[in-house]
Structure 1
Amino acid sequence: MSAGTIIFTGANSSLAIPAVKHFLTNYPDHYAILTIRDPDTPSPHTDKLRAVIAPFQDRVSIRAADLSNLASVRSLTSAITAEIKAGSLPPLTSIICNAYYWNLNVAAELTVDGFEKTFQVNHLAHAILVQQLLESFGRAQDDSHTYCGRIVLFGSDTIFPGQSPLEKYPPLLPEDLQQLAKPTPETDGDHAGHGFQRYSLAKLAIVTWMYALNDHLQKPENSHLRKITTVAINPGNLTDSRALQTNTPFMIRNMSRFLIGPLRPLFSLMDPTMRTAASAGTDVVTLALDQRFEGVKGYFTLLKEDMGPPDSLDKTKQDALWKKTVEWSST
């Protein structure tokens, strides 16, 4: 029986595929559940993932999880919970919430659940996934009544106002948080500007929620969960990420192909966060499982402890977003 199970969402992404390879090669005592939106749909990226995991078939499985459909997320968490209770799957060690969505080419899209798609995939679906699996973590060696483990969420430098050249509208949490889940329709046709802001706000929301989750896990009534910690990582600006080629305007695709990618070595000398998806994937797995990060919590840039933007550190906003996420999760 493996020492524990790790869940990795969006497992056929640019970052995830090398991360999964690093994990399976360096953590032979763990089992991996890799989720993708639809394992049965032909995809060169899923084919690449299957090739990577082929030598490790006894320690890995691919599961369906469409984060734009909350019923799919709940179906996954129910199955994992049942398997862990039955003893057919080792308890959780870590959840890595890597899956993402953005679209800079169209106006805001609503999911079947009625939420803005970028927000649901990046924040709400992952929040539900995590909350429903907290009591499926393994027990601490020094306290059999307490669960322990590490949750990894994903931030971005785009959550800091003024940090991205693509920013047109600042990423600031609105007074009415309902605007995150069901934004007012745009009227100016600026799909790229508003789409980028939706992505930034969704990432800001999950980072703000991370701080609230860590506080929640330390409350007296949750003493059995106090050794589960949550971190959010800015994995860097990944110059070879498919994200730059997906749902983006022609200009961004060309910049990625002919400027950012070829000149990455030069850019990285000026900014160490400009790096490859493989480097980021290794760091993500390290942050999730390496013993030197045991008990850590909070925001990281690469593997360096950092702080989120002011909105994410505001306790009032953390509490408000926590309560609103609970409300959205119950619909």
Structure 2
Amino acid sequence: MLDDGTVDHLQAILCNAGARIQGVNYSVDGYEETFATNHLGHFLLLQLLIDRVVENGRVVFTASGTHDPETVDGKLVGAAVEPNAFMLATDGKEGRKPTSAGKRYSTSKLCNVLTAYELDRRLRRSGSAITSIAFDPGSTAGTGFLRAMPWPVRWLSTTAFFKQFQKRLGITMGSMEFSGISLARLGADPAFAGGSGKYLQSNDGYLIETRSSAMSYDEERALKLWNDSKLLVHLQPSEESTLLR
């Protein structure tokens, strides 16, 4: 922050907030909290700060392999549902049965990937050199992500036995140290300057480029999610960057 209250130029925006919320809760805006935290908050932050990102800067969205129902990660957590922003924001309202916590989480992460790819397309059209990347840190014990779960589950998640069990199941494995370093590299390392529109994954000590879910490449869904998200966050025309139109 500069002395006049404005934001200095940024090397990167790391959209790293993530929550898996038990039960159905709503934000002060009345939106389901998982979707509000994992998608809408990032979307608004991006809109308000993108003009402060340096010419060859980065935007990295921390996604999750759970967004892909064809993977073990997605099958265990709960298959992502249709990424309809208005339905997700009002989940459980008007007498509708709420979506499960796992499905709310996996769908919010699908929204992260869709947004990363839509951002890439918009940046390319505008001639910008900013890079937009989707990143799966893998299953990372010890982050506090499971703090809302019962104590036995939290304890079990930190054991070597549970880590080996996850690997045998085929779950994408990360770690706080390696996944954290990987996120920092994606935000700053020149080696990833050409990674825009890609999906990278921390998997058992390796940072690899791989494919995301089939639905995540659907440009019509991505465009609808983008436009509906603008309405939900009440983005004003004066707040929308020319880079993203």
Q: TM-score, normalised by structure 1?
A: 0.61
Matched, 1:300 2:200: yes
Aligned to 1:24: none
Residue 269 of structure 1: CA displacement?
Answer: 6.4
**Structure with greater Cα Rg:** 1
Aligned to 1:330: 234
Aligned to 2:113: 207
Residue 188 of structure 1: CA displacement?
Answer: 10
Q: Which structure exhibits the higher relative contact order, with contacts defined as CA atoms closer than 8 Å and separated by 6 or more residues?
A: 2
Question: Helix, strand or coil: the match of 2:130?
Answer: strand
Question: Helix, strand or coil: the match of 2:135?
Answer: strand
Change (3 A) 1:314 1:198: same
Change (3 A) 1:268 1:283: farther
Aligned to 1:93: 11
Pairing partner for 2:129 from 203, 224, 227: 227
Residue 294 of structure 1: CA displacement?
Answer: 1.0
Contact 2:85/2:229 (CA < 8 Å) preserved in 1? no
Runs of 4+ that moved beyond 6 A: 186-189
CA–CA separation in structure 2 for the residues paired with 1:80 and 1:320: 39
Question: Helix, strand or coil: the match of 2:12?
Answer: strand
Aligned to 1:133: 49
Aligned to 1:62: none
Residue 159 of structure 1: CA displacement?
Answer: 0.5
CA–CA separation in structure 1 for the residues paired with 2:16 and 2:110: 15
Taking the TM superposition and a 5 Å limit, the aligned residue runs for 1:1-331 are 82-84=5-7, 89=8, 91-104=9-22, 106=23, 108-138=24-54, 147-162=55-70, 163-164=72-73, 166-168=76-78, 170-174=79-83, 176-185=84-93, 194-219=100-125, 222-223=126-127, 226-244=128-146, 246-249=147-150, 252-257=153-158, 261-263=159-161, 266=164, 270=168, 273-297=172-196, 298-302=198-202, 303-330=207-234
For structure 2, which runs of at least 5 residues remain unmatched after alignment?
236-245
Change (3 A) 1:252 1:109: same
CA–CA separation in structure 1 for the residues paired with 2:162 and 2:57: 35
Q: CA RMSD in A?
A: 2.8
Contact 1:109/1:116 (CA < 8 Å) preserved in 2? yes
Change (3 A) 1:149 1:188: closer
Residue 156 of structure 1: CA displacement?
Answer: 0.7
For structure 1, which runs of at least 5 residues remain unmatched after alignment?
1-32, 34-78, 139-146
Residue 99 of structure 1: CA displacement?
Answer: 1.5
Change (3 A) 1:291 1:268: farther
CA–CA separation in structure 2 for the residues paired with 1:196 and 1:150: 29
Q: Which amino acid in structure 2 is aligned with residue 236 of structure 1?
A: G
Residue 235 of structure 1: CA displacement?
Answer: 0.5
Change (3 A) 1:185 1:277: same
Contact 2:156/2:162 (CA < 8 Å) preserved in 1? no
Q: How many residues align?
A: 227
Change (3 A) 1:265 1:199: closer
Contact 1:267/1:274 (CA < 8 Å) preserved in 2? no
- Cα-to-partner distance string for 1:179-237 (whole Å, 9 max, x where unaligned): 11111349899x8x711111111111111111111111122xx33xx111110110111
Q: Which amino acid in structure 2 is aligned with residue 263 of structure 1?
A: F
Change (3 A) 1:254 1:133: same
CA–CA separation in structure 2 for the residues paired with 1:136 and 1:82: 13
Question: Helix, strand or coil: the match of 2:20?
Answer: coil
Residue 83 of structure 1: CA displacement?
Answer: 3.1
Change (3 A) 1:251 1:230: same
Change (3 A) 1:130 1:81: farther
Overall identity of the aligned pairs, in %: 27
CA–CA separation in structure 2 for the residues paired with 1:81 and 1:194: 45
Question: Helix, strand or coil: the match of 2:153?
Answer: helix
Q: Which amino acid in structure 2 is aligned with residue 247 of structure 1?
A: A
Change (3 A) 1:277 1:320: same
Q: Which moved more, 1:247-256 or 1:228-237?
A: 247-256
Contact 1:264/1:274 (CA < 8 Å) preserved in 2? no
